[in-house]
Amino acid sequence: MTHQAPYRWQPPRPRPQHRAGAVRPSLPRHDQVRRALRLLVAAGTCIAGLCLVVGLVALVAALTESSRAANAAANSRATPAMITSVTGSGNRTVANLATARTGWRLSWSYACGPARTGRHLTVREVPVTGPPRTVVAARGQSGHGVSSVYHESGPHGLAVISGCSWKLRVVGRT
């Protein structure tokens, strides 16, 4: 036999965690009913949330489709049409351009000869009311481009200032 000191720590003896063959006592009847009702409420809440998400997705899809159809119909009705085309050289005023919508485009090009001076193109929009607005300001031997103008609809005029030959096309939605 071995001798152990009385002050040495002794681990506690393990106790069995369960008893063999022991069955948990069943819950009383009213607790079983309560548990079943809570389970049904939780399942119903999950199904209702899923239905809500599916319904919202369907609603967004329907609204997106209807707005796309409306935009396509509006774009098919508003086709670009040439309002006027003017060719010239030097300074000139083009009057009475009637635009039906607020957005229109000015397609422009110019080419200068070998002269050293006057290599520029300036086009100003002259509305019936309000000050003139510069739409194109280009410098160099030649150039071309498209400028979008988003001012009010109605009659306009264009003032061209250049020492070169130029061509202007006004395109708008009808």
* Residue 166 to residue 109: CA distance in whole angstroms: 6
Q: Is the pTM of this model over 0.75?
A: no
Written as one letter, the residue type at 72 is A
| CA distances for 162 relative to 7, 96, 168, 171, angstroms | 112, 20, 12, 21
DSSP 172: E
Number of helices and strands in the chain (H, E): 1, 8
CA 73 to chain centre: 19
* Residue 37 to residue 33: CA distance in whole angstroms: 6
- pLDDT computed for residue 65 by the predictor: 81
Written as one letter, the residue type at 56 is L
Written as one letter, the residue type at 123 is V
CA torsion sign for 54, 58, 59, 63 is: positive
- pLDDT computed for residue 120 by the predictor: 84
> Tens of pLDDT along the chain (174 residues)?
566 666 667 777 777 666 655 555 677 888 888 999 999 999 999 999 999 999 999 999 888 887 776 666 665 555 667 777 888 888 888 877 766 666 778 889 998 887 767 788 888 888 777 788 888 888 888 888 888 876 666 677 888 888 888 998 888 764
| CA distances for 145 relative to 110, 135, 142, angstroms | 10, 11, 11
